[in-house]
Amino acid sequence: MIIGIGNDICDIRRIEQTLERFGDRFTDRVFTTTEKTRAERRANRAATYAKRFAAKEACAKALGTGVPRRGVYWVDMGVVNRPSGQPTMSLTGGAADRLSELTPAGMTAQIDVTITDEYPLAHVFVLISAVPATQT
């Protein structure tokens, strides 16, 4: 069952300008340590940051909150990769609390993310679904 969808498009040039102007002030406020480490290893770090920025926006839309609203902040949402390489979101703090509110009893939330870019744009789609909780 789908419990939230969101998409976002981000202009990579805007992130390039923001990185030039604000540097660490911007990245420390918006991105997780894992995201910053990954982006700083990339030749085109602005595109990496833009994709993750768009993912956060899309995830906040899927959560029905926006950022920063209802206790959901930028660093509460981080793009991580499953062992297969497929992207997903790791939620903490207010974002995790909101996801818990949305997830029906007896179900587990699953977050699917698709990320793409074609300079100068980055686009992300986030689908949050509730699947039956597995018995262990």
Is residue 8 marked as binding? Answer: yes
On average, the pLDDT of the chain sits at 94
57 is in an annotated binding site: yes
Q: Which CATH superfamily, name and number, covers 2-132?
A: 4'-phosphopantetheinyl transferase domain (3.90.470.20)
Burial class (CB in 10 A: 0-12, 13-18, 19+), 106: exposed
Per-residue pLDDT tens over the stretch 15-34? 999 999 999 999 999 999 99
Residue 70 has pLDDT above 90, yes or no: no
Q: How many CB atoms lie within 10 A of CB 60?
A: 26
